[in-house]
Amino acid sequence: MADFAELGLRPEVLRAVADLGFEEPSPVQARAIPLLMAGRDLIAQAMTGTGKTAAFGIPLVERLDPDNDAIQGVVLAPTRELAVQVAEQIHQLGRHRGLRVVPIYGGQPYERQFRALRAGVQIVVATPGRLMDHMRRGTADLSGVRIMVLDEADEMLNMGFLEDIEFVLSHLPEERQTALFSATMPDPIRDLAARYLTEPETVTLGSPRGTTVEAIAQRYYEVPGRHKFEALVRVLDVEQPSLGIIFCGTKRAVDDVTEGLRARGYRAEAIHGDMSQMMRERAIGALRGGRAELLVATDVAARGLDIEQVTHVINFDLPQDPEYYVHRIGRTGRAGRSGEALTFVTPWEMREFRFIERSTGARIRRAAIPTAAEVAERERELLAERVMSVLRNGATARYRALVEELSEDHDPVDIAAAAIAMAEQARGSDGADRSAAAQASAELEAWLRRPPPPPAPPRLSGQRYSGPRRGPAPWDRENRPERRGPLPPRGGPNGPPRRFTSRRRQD
Ligand code: AMP
Residue 219 has pLDDT above 60, yes or no: yes
For residue range 398-448, list pLDDT tens digits in order. 888 888 889 999 898 998 888 888 887 776 644 445 677 888 899 999 999
Which residue, judged by its Cα, is nearest atom 11 of ligand 1? 51
- List residues near ligand 1 (CB under 6 A): 22, 25-26, 29, 48-54, 363
How much is the pLDDT for 488?
40
How much is the pLDDT for 476?
38
Q: What are phi and psi of 96, to 5 degrees?
A: -75, -10
12 vs 41: CA distance, rounded Å: 24
DSSP 207: B
Percent of the chain with pLDDT over 70: 83
Residue to probe by mutation, ligand 1, list 53, 60, 181, 338, most atoms within 8 Å of CB: 53
For residue range 46-57, list pLDDT tens digits in order. 876 778 999 999
Ligand 1 centroid – CA 362 distance (Å): 10
- Ligand 1 atom with minimal separation from the 21 CA: 21
Interior angle at CA 466, CA 31 and CA 30, nearest 5:
5
Nearest of 257, 326, 347 to residue 298 by alpha carbon: 257
- For residue 162, how many other CB atoms are within 10 A of its CB? 17
Ligand 1 centroid – CA 150 distance (Å): 18
Ligand 1 centroid – CA 48 distance (Å): 9
Query: Where does CATH 3.40.50.300 sit in the chain?
Result: 4-204, 216-369
Q: Does domain 4-204 have CATH number 3.40.50.720?
A: no
- Ligand 1 atom with minimal separation from the 22 CA: 20
Ligand 1 centroid – CA 393 distance (Å): 42
How much is the pLDDT for 395?
76
496 vs 74: CA distance, rounded Å: 50
147 vs 396: CA distance, rounded Å: 65
186 vs 193: CA distance, rounded Å: 11
Please indicate whether residue 209 or residue 286 has the higher confidence score (pLDDT): 286
Mean pLDDT of 46-73: 92
Residue to probe by mutation, ligand 1, list 19, 22, 31, 92, most atoms within 8 Å of CB: 22
Residue 472 has pLDDT above 60, yes or no: no
Which residue, judged by its Cα, is nearest atom 19 of ligand 1? 25
How much is the pLDDT for 423?
81
Q: What are phi and psi of 340, to 5 degrees?
A: -120, 135
pLDDT category, 138, cuts 50, 70, 90? very high
- Ligand 1 atom with minimal separation from the 47 CA: 2
Which residue, judged by its Cα, is nearest atom 6 of ligand 1? 49
pLDDT category, 491, cuts 50, 70, 90? very low
CATH code for the part of the protein at 216-369: 3.40.50.300
Cite the DSSP H helix spans in 74-176.
Answer: 80-94, 110-118, 128-137, 153-158, 162-170
Q: How far is CA 105 from CA 125, 160, 408, in A?
A: 8, 15, 65
Which residue, judged by its Cα, is nearest atom 21 of ligand 1? 22
pLDDT category, 482, cuts 50, 70, 90? very low
Ligand 1 centroid – CA 285 distance (Å): 38
Residue to probe by mutation, ligand 1, list 7, 26, 84, most atoms within 8 Å of CB: 26
Amino acid (1-letter code) at residue 452: P
Q: Supply the mean pLDDT for the chain.
A: 83
How much is the pLDDT for 202?
92
CA 307 to chain centre: 22
Contacts of the segment 106-115: beta carbons below 8 A, 24+ positions apart: 106/80, 106/130, 107/80, 108/80, 110/139, 113/139, 114/139
Interior angle at CA 373, CA 370 and CA 378, nearest 5:
75
Q: What is the pTM of this model?
A: 0.49
